[in-house]
Amino acid sequence: MKTKAIRKLRDKLSRNESVHGLWVTLESASITDMAVAIGLDWVVIDAEHGHLDWKEINEHIRAAHRSDTVVLVRIAQRDTSLTKRVLDMGADGIVVPWVETVEQVQEALLDCRYPPEGRRGIGGERATVWGQCMAEHTDEANEHVLVVPLIESVGAIPNVAAMCEVDGIDLFYFGPADFSSSVGSRGQWEGPGVAESILKLKDTIIAAGKHCGLMAAGVDDLVSRHEQGFRVLGLGSDCGFLMRGIHQSLQALDCDRAPATSLDPADGRAIRLPLSQRPDHIQPDRKQVITTVAQGQVVEIQSGVELTAMVGEFNTARNLTTGVVNIEPDAFLDCHTHPCSESITILEGEAEVMVEGRAYRLGPLDNIVVPRWLPHAISNCSSTDKSKIHVAFPLSVPERNMVSRTFKRTEMPADSTGVPGLEHVTRFETAKRTFGVGPGAEFIDYFNAEMIPGLEMSGGFGRFQPGGRLPAHLHDFDESICIVDGEASCLVEGNEYSLTNCDTAMIPRGRVHYFVNESSESMDMIWVYAGPMPVRIEIDDSLASKQCELEGNENE
């Protein structure tokens, strides 16, 4: 145990200075040697995950011997024998995974303290200088040993305040990925609601006079975490830095590749850096238009059925019309066809969509896509409440042809996803989510030409947690984005807008833009592209902030 290094770390934290460290997962002790050489405040040797054996853990600890770099070992579980062993090797403390209760904290402290305060046995290893400094070490070890609970599950939330009251705990660490898994968002770094929970727990810990930290997801996140008040900052992991460096080198040669999601050979999917400028062949010729519901074009389609067009020829959109339809209680839209496909997404209430007699009952955020010329009708299932739906067509001015033919009614199962080759249904509750497109954002693809061969448009649902956003990007076709819940900020080439309550942005082909959720609540959107596949061209953020010189009309 290096009491001088531990005192130095605690002293920095007492002055509200951040302490920086590295998460070590690979075998070579040279990694810890590098951390010491560069003067990092701490390293964590990860003995919970991965393949480090005791010899390799020992070598990492030895690499930081007689330095000011604190060495902690994350043990595989709270266990007396594991704790004794790593502390006897000379570790300055332990990181205890999956701590959820005060009792677990107290048990970890007992493992790390010599009697009578604890149950740690006395060994003649490095910690006691092979038995030569047994009295000196045992006299100071209980006071200085660092015990770091790792908060990584929702089960810990109600108990963190009480954990802070346990004498002998200086700091806590968060594990966002496992935290996300515990709320059902497996595979995400910070799933829905996790970021907010961690920030609230951080405030609780700081208010109790303790310190906390976590691993940064990148340089921008590192700066953000410091600003949020985290002071025990993990710069990253050794394997993370290595992989990042490999990717950056490949990116410089424009030949980066995504790895396979298994132990098979890499699948060769290209990874592209954001472009530094707009492609020459995708130059915009129109301005973006932001339309509120009050500004939309209102059309009574049928008694009790009213369409508010939000995007279309009237606001310069090409090959795309979107809108919001309100259906009064018990009202219905008679059977009809279109010379193009139609997307129908339920926003409020319930609706029944009947396609050639096949009746689908749909609830909030369920979607059905009806291909061109397929007869269909829509009705409100409720006799007391309105239904609100979002519709989209891949035409600037959609056409409707009434159908007089009657069809035999067939009740479709509640989990039906449609008929292959005909209509396609996406059930929101069971739909496949896509993550990693942008921080704090998840997406559902409702429809595209890969899902429905021959489809002329693509679209889906997006949910942004607070702070969630997409990279700056553009498309080779027009886009409609309707904010159906919460509030969104939209930045389009130097122009910033706030959208809510079904406000809809029409972003023309070639316009650089992105959406971000700057509120404290989640934000939902329905997006539709006037193109058969959801192709997004990422571009440098600065182009989204740069004022465009093109003259034209713009809805402020």
Give the span between the Cα atoms of 194 and 215, in whole angstroms: 14
20, 49, 338, 424: which one is catalytic?
49
Give the span between the Cα atoms of 178 and 185, in whole angstroms: 9
Q: In what order do the strands lie in the sheet with 376-380?
A: 401-402, 332-337, 376-380, 351-355, 358-362, 410-411
Instruction: Choose among 547, 536, 532, 527: nearest CA to 474.
Output: 536
475 in active site? no
Reported residue count of the chain is 556
Give me 390's structure tokens.
């979002």
Rounded to the nearest angstrom, the gap between the alpha carbon of residue 106 and the centroid of all alpha carbons in its chain is 34
Alpha helices, DSSP H, located in 265-420: none
DSSP three-state, residue 520: coil
DSSP three-state, residue 261: coil
Instruction: Choose among 118, 164, 171: nearest CA to 141.
Output: 118
Cα dihedral 352/355/357/361 (nearest 10): -20
Give the span between the Cα atoms of 36 and 56, in whole angstroms: 17
DSSP state of 418: B
Residue with tokens 């899902």: 451
* 98 and 178 Cβ atoms separated by less than 8 Å: yes
Give the span between the Cα atoms of 484 and 459, in whole angstroms: 14
DSSP three-state, residue 179: helix
DSSP three-state, residue 61: helix
- Residues serving a catalytic function are 49
